[in-house]
Structure 1
Amino acid sequence: MMNASKIELRRSLLETRLSLSRDVWRTKSNIICHHLQDSTLFTQAKTVLAYFSFRQEPDLSPLFCLPKRWGFPRCLGDTLSWHDWTLGDELEANGYGILEPKIDAPRIEPAKVDLMLVPGVGCDRSGYRLGYGGGYYDRLFSLPEWQNIPRIGIVFDLAYLSTLPRDVWDFPLTGLCTEVGILRSTDNKLL
Structure 2
Amino acid sequence: MVYNTVDLQIKGMKIRKQEIRKEMIRCLREQESSLREERSLNIQLKLLSSEVFKTSKTVMTYVSLPMEVDTHYLIEQALKQGKRVVVPYIGPHSQTITASEIKSMNNLEKGPLNIFQPKKGEQVTVALTEIDLIIVPAVAYDKKNMRLGRGKGFYDKFLSDPDVSSVKTIGFAFDFQVVDSLPVDSYDRPVTSVITN
TM-score normalised by structure 1 residue count: 0.90
Residue 116 of structure 2 corresponds to residue 99 of structure 1: yes
Partners in 2 of 1:11 and 1:129 — Cα distance?
A: 15
Deviation at 1:125, TM superposition (A): 0.8
Aligned to 1:116, the other structure's residue is in SS state strand
Q: How many residues align?
A: 179
1:120 to 130, 138, 142: 138
Could you tell me which residue of structure 1 aligns to residue 56 of structure 2?
45
Partner of 1:84: 101
Structure 1: unaligned runs, 5 residues or longer: 180-191
Deviation at 1:108, TM superposition (A): 1.0
Name the counterpart of 1:172. Answer: 190
Are residue 144 (structure 1) and residue 155 (structure 2) matched? Answer: no
RMSD, matched Cα: 1.3
More helix by share: 2
Q: Residue in 1 aligned with 2:174?
A: 156
CA distance in 1, matches of 2:72, 2:109: 16
- TM-score normalised by length of structure 2: 0.87
Structure 1 residue 87: deviation in Å?
A: 2.1
Given candidates 64, 79, 90, the residue that maps to 1:75 is: 90
Identity %: 28
Asked if 2 retains the 8 angstrom alpha-carbon contact of 1:65 and 1:87, the reply is yes
In 2, distance between residues paired with 1:128 and 1:63?
23
Could you tell me how far 1:171 is from its partner in structure 2?
A: 1.0
Structure ID, larger Rg? 2
Cα distance, 1:44 vs structure 2: 0.7
Aligned to 1:45, the other structure's residue is in SS state coil
Alpha carbons of structure 1 residues 105 and 8: separation in structure 2 relative to 1, 3 Å: same
